[in-house]
Chain A
């Protein structure tokens, strides 16, 4: 047996077994203890929280449902509305970003793009012009944007034949992911102003669009890797079998990308579900999401740990269930048998 071959637990020496189980046990404890702590805190009275660490219900302290009844009955709609908002925003932004992102990733993995630097420069100049028109000259922004778009299109057309260096697919991909290098707070204020201008502050649409944009680079990046790993032969074969491009995408590429799609959508769903900073800027009352409600429990009266714990539990339960359901899709080895002999 080589040292690289994995051993079954039963074949291990007793000492090794103790070490392995010991390390796993410690790690399990580290992961699960905070969850346990949140769970028991949700059943504690304030006195059981502030009176020192109590660990065991019925032994150390007497559990109470006061926090649960406050969140579900006293707050009532003030709990359910943010919950509903979170569901709507997370689900729709995930759907939107998965559709746009995977189509973009597929295009980048299969077609060669050669954007011209000159065209990009013309576009940047047009954007600068719009900013000057709106900010310095006080032109109505709708008119300014229309003028900017028109000038960019006309300019790009006029200099279509002028020689210019070009960029390629790797550049586009890197540009995409570079969007995530900046901390999101850099963009928070401009995004706030933008939605203020189009009167969409405190709406689902604002949050859905923002989360879609923020998650797009991650989806493109992950799905690009996935699509590249699907052999081109399969598509060419389907093409010769008579399938159209759209059909190939939906009948050959998508089924084979299921593990990647599921894993990626879980990732972006969790991001949207937990996102706090941008939600803080973009929603005030109507579109408020769950993370804001959790944070709000640390308001004028000081941190209300028992209410927070209840909210955290009802926030993480659906995510855990979803992960369990989707786990079987995130299986490897789906491409075996495609092209290897």
Chain B
């Protein structure tokens, strides 16, 4: 089912936590609300769930205006960061609670509980209590409880953040597969860009209560709308060099770099991702400097180069070897340079 937010805003007292937000989530889409803490992403999700009132604007689910509808009548299911399992109910009772409220006949209820328990591999644990389960199992109970009644929309509030790193990776893949198989519209809140990039059909990046960019993961990465998006996405984050832009020439200190855009900006920022930089001999480099740090990550090496005014991180081969302090040159891939106005962060195209 579709979810639409039209100019939805939220104030807590006089504090504006969400500026007028427009979102249009398509049928069966996996939309990720991505942002740092305090960006308004969780507030937006809670407003869609109905747990938070809307200060202004309209929310529609499947074409029906639900702005002032109680959560229980919105037919959405939510997975909480804390899982929010009922500690006095068994796993089966937890999963079946939404069905019990809807007064499903007992045989059908049991069949459906069994069915979802199978899907999330919880069948052996149905008689246990949440306190007897591991973190990953609790997480799956929460998921099963959301799935069991086949809601119009899934809402997920950082569902993986309480799991350890290895289990998180596994559950991420499971979640992606499950959403694909069920085809239920999903809105997912996270601060983890990897979750956003891997799971989302589209990512809505929020900062300071404002939508920065709403696009596919590939476009968010390859075509960032502004300096904030460019620096938020990507790990390690994009290198930035401060300077001036005149025509298609970017100047910073003594270096001049030809860039693929035209413009005249007194205070400009040149952005380039670590994988679009290469280490070369100083004589055929765009920027010169000395090696500041070398970090072997595994399949690649991150080399930090200190130039006259900045630090540049370069993604090098895993067998890269050099000494800290060595003079080195950095060549930038001409097609993958991004330019921004320094003050407002607006992209220069």
Interface residues of chain A, those whose CB is within 8 Å of chain B, are 231, 233-234, 236-244, 247, 252, 255-256, 333-341
Contacts of B49 in A (CB 8 A): 236, 240
Of A233, A244, A255, A256, the contact of B84 (CB 8 Å cutoff) = A233
CB of B280 within 8 Å of the partner chain: no
Whether the pair B163, A255 counts as a contact (CB closer than 8 A) is: no
Q: Shortest Cβ distance from B69 into chain A, in angstroms?
A: 12
Whether the pair A240, B71 counts as a contact (CB closer than 8 A) is: yes
Q: Which of B58-101 contact A (CB under 8 A)?
A: 70-72, 76-78, 80, 82-88, 97-98, 101
The listed residue with most B CB atoms (<10 A of its CB), out of A238, A336, A339, is: A339
What are 8 A-B pairs at a CB distance below 8 A?
A237-B86, A241-B72, A241-B97, A241-B145, A242-B98, A243-B97, A252-B86, A334-B87
CB of B102 within 8 Å of the partner chain: yes
CA distance A237 to B97 in the complex (A): 10
Contacts of A241 in B (CB 8 A): 72, 77, 97-98, 101, 145
Whether the pair A337, B78 counts as a contact (CB closer than 8 A) is: no
Contacts of B282 in A (CB 8 A): none
Whether the pair B101, A243 counts as a contact (CB closer than 8 A) is: yes
Of B50, B78, B88, the contact of A334 (CB 8 Å cutoff) = B88
Q: Which of B100-132 contact A (CB under 8 A)?
A: 101-102, 129-132
Q: List the 5 shortest-distance A-B pairs measured between CB atoms, nearest first.
A: A337-B131, A337-B130, A339-B82, A341-B162, A237-B84
CB of B135 within 8 Å of the partner chain: yes
CA distance A255 to B97 in the complex (A): 15
Contacts of A339 in B (CB 8 A): 80, 82-85
Whether the pair B163, A341 counts as a contact (CB closer than 8 A) is: yes
Of A239, A240, A256, the contact of B88 (CB 8 Å cutoff) = A256
Q: Name the residue on B nearest A336 (C-beta).
A: B131
CA distance A243 to B88 in the complex (A): 16
CB of B133 within 8 Å of the partner chain: yes
Q: Shortest Cβ distance from A309 into chain B, in angstroms?
A: 44
CA distance A247 to B101 in the complex (A): 9
Contacts of B130 in A (CB 8 A): 337-338
Contacts of A336 in B (CB 8 A): 87, 131
The listed residue with most A CB atoms (<10 A of its CB), out of B49, B97, B132, B162, is: B97
CB of B178 within 8 Å of the partner chain: no
Contacts of A231 in B (CB 8 A): 82, 84
The listed residue with most B CB atoms (<10 A of its CB), out of A236, A333, A337, is: A337
Contacts A242-B101, A341-B135: A233 and B80 contacting too (C-beta < 8 A)?
Answer: yes
CA distance A240 to B83 in the complex (A): 13
Q: Which of B180-201 contact A (CB under 8 A)?
A: none
Whether the pair B86, A240 counts as a contact (CB closer than 8 A) is: no
CA distance A9 to B129 in the complex (A): 32
CA distance A340 to B49 in the complex (A): 22
Q: Which of B141-168 contact A (CB under 8 A)?
A: 145, 162-163
The listed residue with most B CB atoms (<10 A of its CB), out of A234, A237, A337, A339, is: A237
The listed residue with most B CB atoms (<10 A of its CB), out of A239, A241, A333, is: A241
Whether the pair A236, B131 counts as a contact (CB closer than 8 A) is: no
Q: Shortest Cβ distance from B309 into chain A, in angstroms?
A: 44
CA distance A339 to B161 in the complex (A): 13
CB of B138 within 8 Å of the partner chain: yes
Q: Name the residue on A nearest B72 (C-beta).
A: A242
Q: Shortest Cβ distance from A104 into chain B, in angstroms?
A: 23
Of B51, B129, B162, the contact of A236 (CB 8 Å cutoff) = B51
The listed residue with most B CB atoms (<10 A of its CB), out of A239, A240, A337, A341, is: A240
CA distance A234 to B133 in the complex (A): 17
Contacts of A244 in B (CB 8 A): 72
Q: Shortest Cβ distance from B100 into chain A, in angstroms?
A: 9
Of B72, B102, B162, B163, the contact of A240 (CB 8 Å cutoff) = B72
Whether the pair A236, B80 counts as a contact (CB closer than 8 A) is: yes
Whether the pair A240, B87 counts as a contact (CB closer than 8 A) is: no
Q: Shortest Cβ distance from B340 into chain A, in angstroms?
A: 39
Of B86, B98, B135, the contact of A234 (CB 8 Å cutoff) = B86
The listed residue with most A CB atoms (<10 A of its CB), out of B51, B87, B88, is: B87
Q: Name the residue on B nearest A237 (C-beta).
A: B84
CA distance A243 to B129 in the complex (A): 21
Contacts of B51 in A (CB 8 A): 236, 239-240
CA distance A240 to B78 in the complex (A): 7
CA distance A252 to B94 in the complex (A): 11
Q: Shortest Cβ distance from A245 into chain B, in angstroms?
A: 10
Contacts of B98 in A (CB 8 A): 241-242
Contacts of A239 in B (CB 8 A): 51, 70-72
Of A236, A247, A333, A338, the contact of B85 (CB 8 Å cutoff) = A338
Whether the pair A337, B72 counts as a contact (CB closer than 8 A) is: no
Contacts of A334 in B (CB 8 A): 87-88
The listed residue with most A CB atoms (<10 A of its CB), out of B50, B70, B72, B85, is: B72
CA distance A337 to B131 in the complex (A): 4
Beyond known contacts A238-B86, A334-B88: 9 more, CB 8 A cutoff = A231-B84, A237-B80, A240-B50, A240-B72, A240-B76, A241-B97, A241-B101, A243-B72, A337-B87
Contacts A237-B78, A242-B72: A335 and B135 contacting too (C-beta < 8 A)?
Answer: no
CA distance A189 to B267 in the complex (A): 82
CA distance A341 to B77 in the complex (A): 20
Of B70, B77, B132, the contact of A337 (CB 8 Å cutoff) = B132
Q: Shortest Cβ distance from A336 into chain B, in angstroms?
A: 4
